[in-house]
Every structure is written in C-alpha cells, then in structure tokens.
Structure 1
C-alpha cells in the first residue's frame, strides 16, 4: 500500500479501502503529558465517501477550543461508530503512563459498536487490538480517523477538567487542563497536590514533600547578562 504525500488527510483511509480493508478505525489519546486529571482515549470509524468528510477536521492541537467543539459535533454525528475511554489519575499512577496509554487505546477500540478491520494509531504501534493496524507518524495530522479520535479525546478531557476545576478551584484546571504552567506550579507549591494529581510525576511528588527540591543549575557564563539560573523540566514521570 502506498499513500501519496499529497493525498490529504483522507488518503490513508482511501488507500486502505482500495486494498479491501474496511471499516477503518483511528485511535488517539489526550492528557498523557498532564500531571493532573485523567487520561482519555478516543476511537472513531468514519464512513466512506462524502458522509465521512468532516468540515474543519484537523489535529485537535491545531484547533481552537471553539473549532474543536464544532468538529466534535460533526464527528459524533457522522461517525459509523465512536467511543471514548477515561482512565483516572489513580489508575495512571498504578500502571504508569505508557502502560495506561496503551490500555486506554485498546479499551477504546474494544468499545466500538462496529468492529474495525484495520486500526490506525498515532505515532507508535499498539498490540492487543485484535485486528491488524498501522502506526502513523504524526497520525493526528495526516489521517482523518486519527484526527477525529484526537478531537473526541481532547474535547471529552477538557470538559472533564473544567468539571474538576469546580471541585478544586485553587488549581485553575479549567485554564491549563492539568498541564504544567507557571501558575499551576505556584498552586502546587501553595496547596500541595490535589486528589486528582498524578503522583508519579516528579513535580507533584516534590510538592507533596516526597522528592527533594532540585539544586539550581546555572547557565554557562557565555556573555554579560547570561548568568541567570536555568531551570530544567521537572514534570518527568517517576518510574518507581
């Protein structure tokens, strides 16, 4: 199977259908890099032809919040089947983020009301799907069904994070959706982790007093005015 570079976002599905593989599901997740809140996976099967052309469809990260909501409504209306799976922060901590991510993607495919003949995944292969599949580099930008799944996952997770903001307003989850920002770091320092923070992340463990504060690293003094402390990333998931 060959997909032309200029085939557009629907090129993978068209090529697979020409090879006799249908229906085709796309699957993607939202929230893997966040240090608070759930991990959410979406799976979508779009119909062939004009019915499966979703106006404005693109990688969810490239769309505004309003555009994502419009595309979400179109996806769930047009899809032959779609599903969403939520894995809470406690299960993410128990499994570890990579294992939790794979499990979420498998569950999303398993919950589709229509069994796919082929599955496209974003970036890396997922075993245990029960059907053949293909990992597509930057799949949420080049394959329509993966882009649709990314929108379903992202919109669902954002709505959940807004709900968590109502429960834990001190952390402003409705703004940063659980990803680390300067304001989120400040809230962690002031209040410690909430019950929906992921304790495998080093910055959360540090806020809970379970990890020592890092020694400040200084940038090389290459020129005048370049001697400010440089702070490294502290949101890496702990493997413990």
Structure 2
C-alpha cells in the first residue's frame, strides 16, 4: 500500500463494529444482535392446576399431590357407573383420599380394569382409609326425565355437596363440570390418571353392582346379577319375552321398543341407537359399556340446576 492510499476503517475492539461504532446487525455501540421480541402469554383465567411431576410408582397421585402442595386441597375425585345401562340407577361417587396414602392403594386403577374381587377389596380399603366419600343413586325415572348426561352432572354436584369435608378442588373424569363451588378440572381418562377418581369409580361400580344383584332377587327373569342392567343378548331376550319392569329406563330405545311390543331384531352388538348399545356379558360385568355410549350435548340454563330426589349411600 502506498502512502497515497487511504487506510480502510477497522474495528478497534475486534467486535465487528464499523468506524462509526455501529454493529451492522445490532444496536449502535454495543456489538450485540437485537433481542427477539417474545409474544406475550395469554392471561390465565380461574385457578390453574400446577404442573405435576410424574413418577412411575405414584403417577396416579401426582396431580392430587401437586394441587395439595399449592394449597388447593383437599382434592376430590368424581366418577359414575351405569351410564350405559338400560336398567337400574346411575351411581355417582365422590371421594377424597388421604394425602401420602399411595402405598396402601397399590394397583388402584380404573374399576373397569379390575376383577370383581379386586374391586371389592379396594372398596373396603377406600371405606376405611378415605378422608370422606359419598355415593348418590339416580333412579331410572329421574334418568328418563332429565337424560343421562344432565342426571349424571347433577349427581356429581350432589355427591360433592354432601361430603362432610369441604374440598378445595374437584377432578372429574373426561368432561368439564361446573357448579361445585370450588375450582374443578376435567382429566382425560381420569380414572387412570388420578387415584381419587379411580377410587370414586370403584365406589360407584361396587355400590351399583350390589344393588343390581338385589334387584335380581326381585326380578330374576332379567338376570340383572349377570349383566347389571346393560344391553346384552341375555337382557335383550328377557326384554322381548317379559317386557320392561319399573327398574328399566324407558327413555332407552330398546326398552321403549320392548314396551311397545316391537321386535329388537336389527340391534347389532356395539352399535349405538339413541344412547343405547348392546354389548356382551363380559363388557357389561366390567362396566366397559359405559365407554360406548355417545355423550349428550352440553347443557346450560337454570333448569339444569333443579334439585331432584335421589338416593344416597354412605
């Protein structure tokens, strides 16, 4: 380079700045790239459950434990049995389990995955160890008048309201429910994901199964002890031969057809008919048929808050 050549401007600090102290990709005089603008998070509404840390041995207790650590306990689980049956009551249970009691409930899960003997064993343990529990029975005429879904939700509210211990948070199985007076959360597959919901499912299932066995003694022609009121071939044949009894739900299409003397042919197993589904005896015994019934539309309005006279088991 000759003496007449002009020297190129150089950064004095090696930071990538030009002669004017500016960074081509950043703020003047800093040598830094501009920070990306973050989108603001949407505002939170209501009481949000804390994120639960799941551990292999106690995963079904993780959500309850997290809620209690954040001062939102006691946590009550709610579930029902008999939603898909065309005879017998709808049983709705609410249960508060003792914090730190996971070791005493090893194997606790969805009642449909347990044998009858296992359910009975857990039922006894839940009665003895639970902080509080209730089972509400909604009889068939009430189910007919209000519909299965609304009767179910109202039964959940009643079961929680009748607890002696006021809960701080309610966990429901699958779909959201309001009207508890405390925050609530719908947990997908709640009877698998939350121990208190699993306990409620067992309370509801065992209570209802025992009642259906008692109804068998009064109406042996229907074999309620076998299918627990679900729409099995055995039950369908009995409806065809004898017609329905007062324990049947006349809002179900197969019961209404039997009451009118119509044939039930053409009701294939596993196909929904206005909320009614025919299943095999094994699915009926486990309660699996409840999973096959299509949910009804969500409800709102003051009529849905009406009280009804239902049974209670304690």
| TM-score category (smaller protein) | 0.7 to 0.9
Which of 153, 159, 162 is residue 210 of structure 2 equivalent to? 159
Asked if residue 92 in structure 1 is aligned to residue 130 in structure 2, the reply is: no
Which of 229, 234, 238 is residue 187 of structure 1 equivalent to? 238
Asked if residue 135 in structure 1 is aligned to residue 173 in structure 2, the reply is: no
CA distance in 2, matches of 1:51, 1:60: 17
**Displacement over 3 Å in runs of 4+:** 4-7, 50-53, 212-217
* Map of 1:227 onto structure 2: none
Which of 37, 47, 52 is residue 3 of structure 1 equivalent to? 52
CA distance in 2, matches of 1:145, 1:50: 11
Q: Structure 2: which 5+ residue stretches go unaligned?
A: 1-49, 277-295, 297-314
Q: Which entry has the higher C-alpha Rg, 1 or 2?
A: 2
Which of 75, 98, 117 is residue 126 of structure 2 equivalent to? 75
1:122-170 Cα distance to aligned partner (Å, 9 max, x none): 0011111111000000000110000000000000000000000001000
CA distance in 2, matches of 1:22, 1:28: 18
Deviation at 1:54, TM superposition (A): 1.9
Which of 225, 233, 236 is residue 271 of structure 2 equivalent to? 233
Deviation at 1:216, TM superposition (A): 5.1
Q: Is the 8 A contact 1:216 1:231 kept in 2?
A: no
* Map of 1:14 onto structure 2: 65
The alpha-carbon distance between structure 1 residues 188 and 216, as it changes in their structure 2 partners (threshold 3 A), is: closer
The alpha-carbon distance between structure 1 residues 128 and 99, as it changes in their structure 2 partners (threshold 3 A), is: same
* Map of 1:126 onto structure 2: 177
Deviation at 1:233, TM superposition (A): 2.7
The alpha-carbon distance between structure 1 residues 166 and 24, as it changes in their structure 2 partners (threshold 3 A), is: same
Deviation at 1:209, TM superposition (A): 1.1
TM-score, with structure 2 as normaliser: 0.68
Structure with more contact order per residue of length (Cα contacts < 8 Å, sep ≥ 6): 1
State the SS of the aligned residue for 2:117: helix
CA distance in 2, matches of 1:52, 1:111: 28
Q: Is the 8 A contact 1:55 1:71 kept in 2?
A: no
Q: Is the 8 A contact 1:52 1:78 kept in 2?
A: no
Q: Is the 8 A contact 1:46 1:52 kept in 2?
A: no
The alpha-carbon distance between structure 1 residues 190 and 78, as it changes in their structure 2 partners (threshold 3 A), is: same
TM-score, with structure 1 as normaliser: 0.88
Q: For residues 216-231 of structure 1, what are the structure 2 equivalents within 5 Å?
A: none
CA distance in 1, matches of 2:269, 2:257: 15
Deviation at 1:232, TM superposition (A): 7.0
State the SS of the aligned residue for 1:116: coil
* Map of 2:299 onto structure 1: none
